Chain A
Amino acid sequence: MVVKHNKKSMTGNDAAAFAALYAQPKVISAYPITPQTTIIEKLSQYVDDGLLDAEFIIVESEHSALAGCMGAAWSGVRTFTATSSQGLLYMAENVFWSGYGRLPIVMPVVNRCLAPGWSIYQDLQDSMAFRDAGWIQIYTKNNQEVFDSVLQGFRIAEDKNIALPYMPCLDGFVISHTTAQVDLPSAEDSFNFVGEYSDPVIEVNTEKPWIFGGLVGPEKFIKDRTDLMEAMERAKKKIVDMNKEFGEYFGRTYGNGLIEIYGDDVADLTIVSMGTIADEAQDAVDVLKEEGLSVNEMRVRTFRPFPEEDIVEFAKKNHKLLVIDRSVSFGHAGQLRIEIEAVLHRNNVDTPVEGRIMGLGGEDVPFTKIVAAAKDALRSKM
């Protein structure tokens, strides 16, 4: 049975803050940065109002913000923070430390481009720079999915079989500061879904002292990294299961949790993208279909772990992919395109891939631009 919801109107950052409030973390350690600021403003207000029984650690930098979460995670409690852009970069050492250290921290990244030039607008360059940091990365398409993904994140990260930090990404301003409808479950139903963090993946125990982050030789080191790769592989199934379970409980799913297909199963062209561009691309698909063109869409929701099998299966039966990236790996191409080409090649799938970089530095990507890009891709013979 699907639980009752209240229709609400809120920004994407409010949605993230609500999900965090409902999950009742014990420690929040955070530093403000545009456009993430309103998430932690709300949470500090919840703590101050007595709605949230959490230790709110006010720190002097993002590096310390995540360090606070790491300490909390080691002590076996639920923990939350959020950041953006330069803040995420400043946090870098600890981002990798918490990924490779398997700490179940939930940290929304409100996507904002990286300087220079100085800008506060959205692209995915910030979180993409951390694709190798051992974090699960989810790219959301709207305010509702932000709430849903943050809530799911605690369950995924805190599963002993997974034990990975979780980064739900939301486009700055376009989601973070835009007011839209969110169907909000009750605090009680939300907490029932998330549950107590009663069986910590890691815990300081003074009866059984041990060393965190001690010196290791290659053998132990390689075992840790192999374990991490295997945990990422298991996380795929966990994300799929969580999407399903969430659907049964709350009545909403996002594709299979890893990818989401829109339109026909087979088309002349498949638009592939992430985040809000992928949501807007659905309108583009409708416009193109009305014009008699055969176009469908694949939204990559989960970028880490990368859903190789699902992408390959869909790409195999389709004729051409147009991958839209909102970030660049300089010296190569858009990261999403690079990875899609890699998995197709590895699986001997010869569906052609064309790439477009769009929306850097907050450039608007209206569906009309996506329509034009799709028509170009349909015309070009490759």
Chain B
Amino acid sequence: MIEVIQISRGGSGGVTGAKILAEAAIMYEGLYAQAIPKYGSERRGAAVLAYVRFDNKPIRIHSPVYEANHALVLDLSLLDRIDISTVDKEGTIVVNSKEVPESLKNSGRKVAYVDATGISQELGLVLSGFTLVNMTMLGAFVKGTNIVSIDNLEKAIVSFWGEKRAPKNVAAALQAYEETKVVIA
């Protein structure tokens, strides 16, 4: 089983992103998957957690992810909200950042980083003042891990958003996939 912890800010689309990631795995990758949003009294701007699981057999676990294989951080300022020591040493920290974040430098951790905010804003993925980085960061996640292919992610995005609304979202994921740098920090 592969487990992912995701942190985002309410309004940036994190919960929807986790759902689409699970859909890509279930519908197109032939995996079993689960996306668990951690709801609370969160409002726009607050930190929101979500968990994604992948397995090649049905998943019977329903509790949150405690020891993730990978971390997906949609907002750089939330990186310190995740206890990176609980994330698998071999796993990837996927983060919305123009460079390797300061706290991860010389950590020996595998880091996948991309300026998702920049890409999304360039594409006009902004809603009510919030930059939607969810699809962008899924592109980065696909590049930094080896679970869902970029083709299958694209299919899931198109299926979820429909032909009319998909193009910008697909473009965001594809551009991030191209621009994401994967390094050992």
Chain A: residues with CB nearer than 8 A to chain B?
Answer: 7-9, 35, 120, 142, 171, 173-175, 177-181, 276, 279-280, 282-283, 364-367
Contact in complex: B34, A178 (CB < 8 Å): yes
Given contacts A178-B34, A179-B19, A181-B33, contact A279 B26 (CB under 8 A): no
> Closest 8 CB pairs between A and B?
A366-B63, A9-B23, A179-B35, A276-B62, A9-B26, A364-B63, A279-B60, A174-B62
Q: In residues 39-68 of chain B, which contact A (Cβ within 8 Å)?
A: 39-40, 58-64, 66
A9-B19, A179-B22 known, 14 other contacts, Cβ within 8 Å: A9-B33, A120-B40, A173-B36, A177-B36, A177-B37, A177-B39, A179-B35, A180-B26, A180-B32, A181-B32, A276-B62, A366-B63, A366-B66, A367-B61
Task: Give the CA-CA distance A336 to B64 in the complex, in Å.
Answer: 25
Task: Give the CA-CA distance A217 to B62 in the complex, in Å.
Answer: 50
Residue of B nearest to A180 (CB): B34
Name 28 interchain pairs, CB-CB below 8 A, sorted by A. A7-B26, A7-B27, A9-B22, A9-B26, A9-B27, A120-B40, A142-B62, A173-B37, A174-B62, A174-B63, A178-B35, A178-B37, A179-B18, A179-B22, A179-B34, A180-B32, A180-B34, A180-B59, A181-B33, A279-B60, A279-B61, A280-B62, A280-B63, A282-B60, A283-B61, A364-B63, A364-B64, A366-B61
Within the complex, the shortest CB–CB distance from B114 to chain A, in Å, comes to: 25
Within the complex, the shortest CB–CB distance from A15 to chain B, in Å, comes to: 13
Within the complex, the shortest CB–CB distance from A174 to chain B, in Å, comes to: 5
Task: Give the CA-CA distance A179 to B36 in the complex, in Å.
Answer: 7
Chain A residues near B18: list those with CB within 8 A: 179
Residue of A nearest to B18 (CB): A179
Residue of A nearest to B24 (CB): A9
Chain A residues near B34: list those with CB within 8 A: 178-180
Chain A residues near B39: list those with CB within 8 A: 35, 120, 173, 177
Task: Give the CA-CA distance A179 to B51 in the complex, in Å.
Answer: 10
Task: Give the CA-CA distance A243 to B73 in the complex, in Å.
Answer: 44
Chain B: residues with CB nearer than 8 A to chain A?
Answer: 18-19, 22-23, 26-27, 32-37, 39-40, 58-64, 66
Residue of B nearest to A286 (CB): B60
Residue among A181, A279, A364, A366 with most chain B CB within 10 A: A181
Chain B residues near A279: list those with CB within 8 A: 60-62
Contact in complex: B33, A280 (CB < 8 Å): no
Within the complex, the shortest CB–CB distance from B54 to chain A, in Å, comes to: 11
Chain B residues near A282: list those with CB within 8 A: 60
Chain A residues near B58: list those with CB within 8 A: 181
Contact in complex: A280, B66 (CB < 8 Å): no
Within the complex, the shortest CB–CB distance from B156 to chain A, in Å, comes to: 8
Contact in complex: B61, A180 (CB < 8 Å): no
Task: Give the CA-CA distance A179 to B22 in the complex, in Å.
Answer: 7
Chain B residues near A175: list those with CB within 8 A: 62
Q: Which of B27, B33, B63 contacts A180 (CB 8 A)?
A: B33
Chain A residues near B32: list those with CB within 8 A: 180-181
Contact in complex: A283, B33 (CB < 8 Å): no
Residue among A9, A282, A283 with most chain B CB within 10 A: A9
Within the complex, the shortest CB–CB distance from B160 to chain A, in Å, comes to: 9
Given contacts A178-B36, A179-B35, contact A280 B26 (CB under 8 A): no
Within the complex, the shortest CB–CB distance from A34 to chain B, in Å, comes to: 8
Residue of A nearest to B37 (CB): A177
Q: Which of A35, A178, A179, A181 contacts B62 (CB 8 A)?
A: A178
Residue of A nearest to B23 (CB): A9
Contact in complex: B35, A283 (CB < 8 Å): no
Task: Give the CA-CA distance A175 to B36 in the complex, in Å.
Answer: 9
Task: Give the CA-CA distance A103 to B95 in the complex, in Å.
Answer: 54
Residue of B nearest to A172 (CB): B39
Residue among A175, A178, A179, A282 with most chain B CB within 10 A: A179
Chain B residues near A180: list those with CB within 8 A: 22, 26, 32-35, 59
Task: Give the CA-CA distance A178 to B66 in the complex, in Å.
Answer: 17
Within the complex, the shortest CB–CB distance from B116 to chain A, in Å, comes to: 22
Residue of A nearest to B22 (CB): A179
Contact in complex: B23, A283 (CB < 8 Å): no
Contact in complex: B60, A283 (CB < 8 Å): yes
Q: Which of B26, B36, B63 contacts A181 (CB 8 A)?
A: B26
Within the complex, the shortest CB–CB distance from A42 to chain B, in Å, comes to: 15
Within the complex, the shortest CB–CB distance from B80 to chain A, in Å, comes to: 23
Chain B residues near A181: list those with CB within 8 A: 26, 32-33, 58
